[in-house]
Amino acid sequence: MIRMLRGLSISQWDDDTVTIRFQIGEFLAGAVILIIGLIIEPAATALAAEQIKLSVGGKMEQYFFIMDADQLPGENLNSTGALSDVEVYFSGKAVLDNGVEISVKMELEAEHKTGRDADEQWLEIKSAFGKLRIGETEGFNHNYTYEGPYVAYEDDEIIGRAVPRRIAIGAKEVLTFERFTGTAFHVGYETPTVAGFTIGANYFPTTTQGEDGFFDKATIDNNAWEVSGAWEGDVGGRTLGIAAGYFNSQSRVAGNDGEQAWNISAEVEAGGFTLGGAYIHSTPEDDLDSTAFSLGATYEIGPLGLGASYFRIRANATPNALAQDRLDQGKIEASYVLVRGIKLGVTGFWAGQEPAGGPDFNDIGLISSAILRF
C-alpha cells in the first residue's frame, strides 16, 4: 500500500497530479471526521465521573561537552560548551461511564531558546474504536519509529547540536516525519492494536508550527498527511518490533517545497541486549533527495547501561547533484541510574562531515549528561 500511495505523488507536478494529491487529503480529512463521529457519539450519552484534573511532570536534561573541532578560516571555536532541554508537562485524564477515555497534555518550555513558551498541546479521545488525537504535536510515525536504542540520552540530535553544522541538512529528528511538520496542528487517528498491529494516520492542514486560522497556500507547503503502521510481538522469546510509514505534503502555489518520504525501522530485545535501527528516504519536489540511516546496540544490567551506535546522512546539496553532502557519526556511551528518574551518562563521539565540493570536517569530543524525569 505504501508503494501504491507513493506512486501517486512522485510523478511530475501537472494538474492531474495536484488534483490526485488534493483528493487524497480530502479523503483523509473526511475519514477522520467520520471516525470522530464514531468515537464521540457514544461519549455524548455518558458523563465523566468527575472533571479532568491536571497533574504536573516534566524533564530536565543538562549536557556539558569538550570537543576538538575542525575550523574554517576566521573561526575560533571554543573547546567547551553546554546544552539544556527542560520542559514542564501538564496532563490530565477522565474516564466516562461508558469507558471512553479523554486525556489532555500541554508541554511548556522551561528555558529560553526560541521565545516560544508552549511546545506542544493536544487532546486525545480513546475508545474501543481507536484513538483520536487533535492538537499541536508530532504525528504517530514519530511514536512508532525505532530510531535506535540508547542509554545515555534519547537520540543522536544532541551530538548534532554540539557539533558545528557543515552540511545543508541537520540531524534533528531526521529519521521520522517530524522533520517535515515539526509539531504543527493536526488531526490523527490510531486503530486499536490487534495481534500486535497498529496503524496511525495524521492530516496537517499546514506544516508551520503555531499557524492559526486560514493561511495562504501561495506562501507555504500544505495539506500534509502520513500513514504509518507498527507491529510488536514475541518471537522465540525475543521482543521484536517493526514500523514503516509514508509521508506526503503539497507544495505552495508555484513552489517546489512539497515532500514525499518513506521510512522503516526495527528493534529486537533479548535479555539486557537491544539492537535496532532506522532508514528514511526523502524525495522532495526540489530534487534535494536525501537518505538517513542509524544502527545501534545497547546492553543494560541493573542500573548500568552501555551502548554504541552509527548514524549517517547523504543529501543532495543541489538538484540532481552528482556529489552529495555527507555526515557520518559514531558514539560509545555509558550510563548509570542513581534512583528512579535520575540518570547520569558519558558519551564519546566522532562526527565526520563532508560538504559536496568542500573540505572534510572531523570533530571528536566527550559529552557528560544528567537526565531527570519527574
Which DSSP state fits 251? P
Q: What is the CATH number of domain 59-88+138-373?
A: 2.40.160
What are the extents of the domains in the chain? Answer: 59-88+138-373
In which band, very low, low, confident or very high, does the pLDDT at 169 lie, cut at 50, 70 and 90?
confident
The count of C-alpha atoms lying within 13 angstroms of the C-alpha of 206, restricted to the half-sphere facing its C-beta, is 14
Instruction: Tell me what percent of the residues of the chain surpass a pLDDT of 90.
Output: 67
* Cell 479523554 sits on residue: 102
Q: Model confidence over 306-348: pLDDT tens digits?
A: 999 999 999 998 887 788 999 999 999 999 999 999 999 999 9
Contact between 331 and 349 under an 8 Å Cβ cutoff? The reply is yes
Q: Measured on CA atoms in the order 22, 24, 30, 32, is the torsion positive or negative?
A: negative
Cross-strand pairs, 298: 274, 307
* Stated pTM of the model: 0.85
pLDDT at 210 (0 to 100) = 79
d(CA 296, CA 269): 12
